[in-house]
Chain A
Amino acid sequence: MQPAASPVTRDLEREIADLMVQALNLTVASADIDPAAPLYREGLGLDSIDILEIALVVSKRYGVEIKADSENNHQIFSSLTALADFIAERRTK
C-alpha cells in the first residue's frame, strides 16, 4: 500500500494529467487516468517519444529538468502519483 496522496499532490496530479492529455493528443479523458497505473506501456500506454514530450512540458510549466540520471528515471514515470511527487519536490514555478 502506498501512502494516500496529500490533497496538494492530488490537485497537481489532476493538473499534470490535463497537461499530458493536451500535449500528447490523448483520447482518454484526464479524469479517467488512474493515478496509480504506470504511464509506460500497459497502463496509459505511453512510449519514449511521449516521455520526451512530457519532459518538455514539465520543464516549461514547473521548471523541473528531467535527466536520464535523475534518481531512478523509471520510478518517475511509474505512475501519475510518482510523477506528481517528483515535480512537487523540485518545482521552481
Chain B
Amino acid sequence: MHVAPLIAHGAPDAIVAFRNGSPIRAGRFIADIAQLSARLPTTGHVLNACHDRYSFAVGLAACISSNRVSLLPSTHTPEAIRQLGSFAPDAICLTDDPACDIDLPQFQFPPGAVPDAEAWPAPAVALDRLVAYIFTSGSTGVPVPHAKTWGRLVRCVQIEAARLRLLATASCVIVATVPAQHMYGFESTVLLPLQSGNALCAGRPFYPADIASALAAAPAPRMLVSTPVHLRTLLAANIDLPPIELILSATASLDESLARKVEERYAVPLLEIYGSTETGQIASRRTTQTAEWLLWPDVSVSVRDGQTWVEGGHVESATPMGDVLEITGADRFLLRGRVADLVNIAGKRSSLAYLDHQLTSIPGVIDGAFFLREGAPATEIGITRLGALVVAPNLDVKAITSCLRERLDPAFLPRPLLLVPEIRRNATGKLPLHVLQSLLPDP
C-alpha cells in the first residue's frame, strides 16, 4: 500500500465534524477541500492559523491534496513569523479571523460564499508526501522545522485510535480544549478523528462553563481531549459535565491524585499521551492504574551516553528526548523529569538556553538569565512562572518586557523580571542557587 485516503469515513453521509451542534458530513468536507484547493494562491507553503477546527481541517486537507506544505510554528509572535518568512519566502497565512495580525500575505477562509456542495470519494494521498513542518523553538534562537510525511502521521494516529479503542465505537465526538496547531492537538483532535471515522468538534472551549456546553451540544458518545491545566480548572470550578466515554490528557504529565479526582468526579477513564513535536505521540498510560508508559508497538527507547533516544515505527529518525526516561521493560518506561535545561510552563515546552538567547539578543541587554525557582508558589491551577535576571543599565522593565513579548510565547514571559547590576555566574557559566536567592524578594 503506497497511499492512504484523506479520511477513514466510508460514505459521504458519515459525519466528520460538528459545529455548534450541527453535523458536517464527509461529502461536504470533500467538496469544501476541493473548493479551497482550487482557490488558494499559487504557493508551496501555507501557515494554517484557522481557529475553527473544522476550517483548520479543510485547510490542512486542501493543502495535502494540492501538494502544498502546511506550516505550524510553535508560536505566532512577530519574531517567529519573520523567521518563518525566511524559512519559506512563499509562505501565506490561511486565517478565519478578519482581524488576524500575522504579518504574511493573508488568505481569508472561507473564500467568499461557498455553495452547498457534495463530493466523493475522498482523495488518496501518497504515504511519502511531505504534508507539514511543525516547529520547535530550538536552542539557538532559530525555530527548528520537523518534517511530517503523510504515511507516518496516519500510522501514528491509527495506533492511537486502537489504543483508545476508538475504532470499535465509531462515531464518537471529540471535543477539545487544545489548538489544532500544536502537535498534540494536530494528532489527537484533527488527524485522529479523520483517520478513525470519528467526528471532530469545530470549537475550542476555554472556560469551564464553555467546556460543559460544548460537550452538552455534542451527541454521545463523547471524548474530551484536554490538558492538566484545563482538567485542574474543571475540578476547581466544580462544574458538572455530561457523560463522557474517555478523557485524554497531554502536554505535561498528571500526578496520580489529580487523575484519580478527575476519574471519580466525572466517572470516566482518563488516559495520558506522551510524545513530543519531534516524535509525535509514542506512549500512553492509564494514570490511575500505573505510572508506566506503554510504548506504541514498533517504537523503541534506548539510552546511549546518558541521553534517551526514541526510534522506530512512525518516528522519522532516531530522536533525542527532552525528558529523562527510565526503561522498565521492552515496551514501557517511567518519566523521571526534564533534562536539566528544559522547562514546561502550562504545558508549553522550551529551554532556558533558548529563552536566555532571546533575552540577551535584545539591544541594550548586556546579560540575562531565566530561572525556575524550586518551591516558588504555584497558582490554584498549578502554574509556576519563570523569573529572569537582567543587566540592562539603560532599559526599564517595561521596555524589556515589550521586546520579549515580540519574541516569546506569553507563557514564558518572566515573573518577576528583575534588573540587577551584574549576574555572577560560576566557572561553568551556571547561575548558582545562592546567588539567585540573594537577589530575589522572599516568595
- A residues within 8 Å of B by Cβ? 23-27, 41-42, 45, 47-49, 52-53, 55-57, 59, 65-69
Asked if A52 meets B415 with Cβ closer than 8 Å, knowing A45-B401, A67-B210, A68-B205, the reply is: no
Q: Contacts A65-B209, A68-B206 known; A52 to B229 CB distance under 8 Å?
A: yes
Give per-residue flags for B393-423: 1 if the beta carbon is below 8 A from chain A beta carbons, else 0. 0000000011001000011010110000000
Task: Name A's interface SS.
Answer: loop
Chain A residues whose CB sits within 8 angstroms of the CB of B205 once the complex forms: 68
Closest residue on chain A to residue B441 by CB atoms:
A27
Interface string of B201-219 (1 = CB under 8 A from A): 0000111111001000000
A40 to B, closest residue via Cβ:
B410
Q: For the complex, what is the distance from the CA of A41 to the CA of B409, rounded to whole Å?
A: 11
Question: Closest 10 CB pairs between A and B?
Answer: A47-B410, A27-B416, A67-B209, A49-B346, A68-B210, A65-B209, A55-B207, A25-B377, A68-B206, A67-B210
Give Cα A19–Cα B233 distance, bound, in whole angstroms.
Answer: 17
* Cβ-defined contact, B237 with A56, below 8 A: yes
- B379 interface residue, CB < 8 Å from A? yes
Binds A, one of B41-49, B265-273, B380-388: B380-388
A69 — which chain B residues lie within 8 A by C-beta? 210
List the B side residues contacting A53 at CB < 8 Å.
379-381, 383
Give chain B's interface residue range (CB within 8 Å of chain A).
20 to 34
Known: A59-B237, A67-B207. A48 touches B410 (CB 8 A): yes
Q: Give CA–CA (A69, B229) in the complex, Å.
A: 21
**In the complex, what distance in Å separates the CA atom of A28 from the CA atom of B401?**
14
CB <8 Å contact, A68 and B411: no
- Output the nearest chain B residue to A69 by Cβ-Cβ distance: B210
* Chain B residue, CB-CB nearest to A55: B207
Q: Hey, which chain B residues are within 8 Å of A59, CB to CB? A: 208, 237
CB contact list, B222-265 vs A, under 8 A? 229-230, 233, 236-237
Given A25-B379, A45-B413, A47-B413, A52–B209 Cβ distance below 8 Å? Answer: no
Does B237 lie within 8 Å of A48, measured CB to CB? no
Which chain B residues lie closer than 8 Å to A49 at the CB level? 229, 346, 381, 383, 411
Task: Return chain B residues, CB-CB under 8 Å to A25.
Answer: 376-377, 379, 385, 415
Would you call B236 and A56 a contact (CB within 8 A)?
A: yes
Q: Cα distance A48–B209 when bound, in Å?
A: 16
Q: How long is the Cα–Cα vector from A24 to B401 in the complex, in angstroms? A: 17
Please report the C-alpha to C-alpha distance between residue A12 and residue B379 in the assembled complex, in whole angstroms: 22
B410 cross-chain contacts in A, Cβ below 8 A: 41, 47-48
24 chain-A/chain-B pairs, Cβ below 8 angstroms: A23-B379, A24-B379, A25-B376, A25-B379, A25-B385, A26-B415, A27-B441, A41-B405, A42-B402, A42-B405, A45-B405, A45-B413, A47-B413, A48-B410, A52-B206, A53-B383, A55-B208, A56-B208, A56-B237, A56-B381, A67-B209, A67-B213, A68-B206, A68-B207
